[in-house]
């Protein structure tokens, strides 16, 4: 079985073809980074217009790279939530048009489920074997940061154990990079600076960093560290030397990644699960990958981490999550709509307090 996936929830237009073993036959991503970079963040209206320009070309390119014709495609999967609604609509309408024209079944995919299943993608013959269910997963991206117990590949088998109460981890990277004048997106550039810095140079404190007993223990908060960086920049200005910049980035990154790794492993221990998984753009972070692997090993837990191309937004993870639904005989109809909200039940309330 081969599925064509489409992704347009934020600032990447993607089309990919994936088979039932998770093999990625083609994965085309058109990034809009240069469109949004001058503004330091994604401008929804510009995102929609750019998706409209590129959605046709990325589909054509995916088929060409896979060297496949339409007769080789068994279904179409498209991200229909969560995300910028105007951006999602472009992918959803394109998917409906293609499904109708080719007489193919269509399914909508929750982008977060896509990130949680990205670890099953196989981009080469020697790709690591995929994890087995159940696992505990950390999804950390620009819009979402949460820890889930995943008992199966479908949305109804995924349960949130805790999430950020305010900013997403990737959002913290992006906002701190903006404060430091490092451009957008912030994650990759902070990651590069941090590699050359001293993480002990600046002492950052993260609220809920240590974890508390009870229901709040897997909840997180990342807005405070951004405020600490802002206060520092107000007092002393942006670091003047490369080394000072590297030290500040290293200290910030160590604080964020150590909390993420600690909460993920603590959640797995508490659930009695021996496997942890990373997903989302922040899972591309070198230090998070290392910390999660090392801390998990200390507790006899195996960490499975997607390849870099599977962490940041891509349509291959959407194709795979859609394939799981199609394989179970599920179909969506022409009434498929776009939504800004995830279909996964949320337990953590933004802004704090019991839900
Ligand atoms: O999953 P993704 O591509 O899009 C969303 O669904 O949000 O994640 C994008 C986020 C951005 O905030 C970006 O700064 C962050 O992932 N990111 C990283 C790294 N690469 C991307 N954060 C930390 N370290 C990285 N190497
Ligand atoms: Zn994403």
Instruction: Using only the alpha carbons of the chain, give its radius of gyration.
Output: 20
Q: Measured from the CB, is residue 281 less than 6 Å from ligand 1?
A: yes
Residue 230 pLDDT grade (very low, low, confident, very high; cuts 50, 70, 90): very high
Give the residue-averaged pLDDT of 20-28.
98
Give the residue-averaged pLDDT of 187-202.
98
In degrees to the nearest 10, what's the CA dihedral of 134, 217, 203, 173?
50
Residue 355 pLDDT grade (very low, low, confident, very high; cuts 50, 70, 90): very low
Q: Which carries the bigger pLDDT value, residue 239 or residue 353?
A: 239
Which domains are seen in the chain, by residue range?
2-123+310-327 (3.30.420.40), 135-306 (3.30.420.40)
Residue-wise pLDDT for 92-137, tens only, equals: 999 999 999 999 999 999 999 999 999 999 999 999 899 999 999 9
Stated pTM of the model? 0.95
Determine the Cα–Cα distance for residues 164 and 254; give it in Å rounded to an integer: 17
Give the residue-averaged pLDDT of 217-225.
93
How far does residue 183's CA lie from ligand 1's centre (Å)?
13
Determine the atom of ligand 1 nearest the C-alpha atom of 177: 14
Determine the atom of ligand 1 nearest the C-alpha atom of 144: 7
User: How many other β-carbons are positioned within 10 Å of the β-carbon of residue 335?
Assistant: 6
Ligand closest in space to the Cα of 11: 1
How far does residue 268's CA lie from ligand 2's centre (Å)?
23
Determine the atom of ligand 1 nearest the C-alpha atom of 173: 14
Determine the Cα–Cα distance for residues 274 and 270; give it in Å rounded to an integer: 10
Q: Is the pLDDT of residue 175 over 60?
A: yes
| DSSP secondary structure, 274-293, as one string | SEEEEESGGGG-HHHHHHHH
Determine the Cα–Cα distance for residues 266 and 264; give it in Å rounded to an integer: 6
How far does residue 340's CA lie from ligand 2's centre (Å)?
13
DSSP3 helix / strand / coil % (the chain, rounded to 5): 45, 20, 35
Q: Is the pLDDT of residue 211 over 60?
A: no
- For ligand 1, pick from 31, 170, 191, 285 the residue to mutate: most ligand atoms within 8 Å of CB: 170
pLDDT recorded at residue 194: 98
Mean pLDDT of the chain: 95
- For ligand 1, pick from 182, 194, 281, 317 the residue to mutate: most ligand atoms within 8 Å of CB: 281
Q: Quick check: 164 and 347 in contact, CB under 8 A?
A: no
Residue 213 pLDDT grade (very low, low, confident, very high; cuts 50, 70, 90): very low
Give the residue-averaged pLDDT of 74-101.
98
Q: Measured from the CB, is residue 108 less than 6 Å from ligand 1?
A: no
Q: Measured from the CB, is residue 167 less than 6 Å from ligand 1?
A: no
Closest CA to ligand 1's atom 18: 187
Q: Is the pLDDT of residue 151 over 70?
A: yes
How far does residue 3's CA lie from ligand 2's centre (Å)?
19
* Structural element, H or E, at residue 259: helix 242-271
Q: Measured from the CB, is residue 143 less than 6 Å from ligand 1?
A: yes
- For ligand 1, pick from 197, 312, 318, 340 the residue to mutate: most ligand atoms within 8 Å of CB: 312
Q: Is the pLDDT of residue 354 over 70?
A: no
pLDDT recorded at residue 350: 74
pLDDT recorded at residue 332: 98
Determine the atom of ligand 1 nearest the C-alpha atom of 312: 3
* Residue 198: both structure tokens together: 């001293």
Closest CA to ligand 1's atom 16: 281
How far does residue 62's CA lie from ligand 2's centre (Å)?
20
Closest CA to ligand 1's atom 14: 187
How far does residue 291's CA lie from ligand 1's centre (Å)?
17
Determine the atom of ligand 1 nearest the C-alpha atom of 83: 6
Look at phi and psi of residue 79 and say left if phi exceeds 0, alpha if psi is from -120 to 50, else beta. Answer: beta
Residue-wise pLDDT for 289-327, tens only, equals: 999 999 999 999 999 999 999 999 999 999 999 999 999
């Amino acid at each position: 079985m081969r599925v064509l996936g489409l992704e347009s929830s934020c600032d990447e237009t993607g089309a990919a073809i994936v088979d039932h073993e998770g093999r990625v036959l083609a994965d085309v991503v058109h990034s809009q980074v240069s469109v949004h970079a001058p503004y330091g963040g994604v401008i929804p209206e510009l995102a929609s217009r750019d998706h409209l320009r590129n959605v046709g070309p990325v589909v054509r390119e995916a088929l060409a790279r896979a060297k496949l014709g339409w007769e080789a495609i068994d279904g179409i999967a498209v991200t229909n939530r969560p995300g910028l609604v105007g951006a999602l609509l472009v992918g959803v309408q394109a998917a409906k048009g293609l499904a109708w024209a080719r007489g193919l079944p269509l399914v909508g995919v929750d982008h977060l489920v896509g990130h949680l299943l990205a670890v099953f993608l196989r981009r080469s013959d020697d790709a690591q074997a995929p994890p087995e269910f159940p696992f505990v997963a950390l999804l950390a991206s620009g819009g979402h940061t949460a820890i889930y117990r995943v008992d199966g590949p479908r949305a109804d088998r995924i349960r949130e154990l805790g999430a950020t109460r305010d900013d997403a981890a990737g959002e913290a990277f992006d906002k701190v990079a903006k404060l430091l004048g490092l451009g957008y997106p912030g994650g990759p550039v902070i990651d590069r600076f941090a590699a050359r810095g001293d993480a002990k140079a600046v002492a950052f404190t993260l609220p809920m960093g240590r974890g508390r007993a009870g229901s709040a223990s897997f909840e997180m908060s990342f807005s405070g560290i951004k405020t600490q960086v802002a206060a520092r920049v107000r007092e002393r200005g942006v670091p003047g030397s490369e080394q000072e910049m590297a030290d500040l980035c290293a200290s910030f990154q160590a604080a964020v990644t150590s909390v993420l790794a600690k909460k993920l492993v603590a959640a797995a221990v508490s659930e009695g699960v021996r496997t942890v998984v990373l997903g989302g753009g922040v899972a591309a972070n070198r230090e998070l990958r290392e910390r999660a692997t090392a801390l998990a090993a200390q507790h006899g837990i195996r960490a499975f981490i997607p390849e870099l191309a599977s962490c940041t937004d891509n349509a291959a993870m959407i194709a795979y999550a859609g394939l799981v639904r199609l394989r179970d005989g599920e179909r969506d109809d022409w009434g498929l709509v776009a939504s800004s909200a995830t279909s996964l039940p949320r337990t953590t309330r933004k802004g704090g307090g019991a839900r």
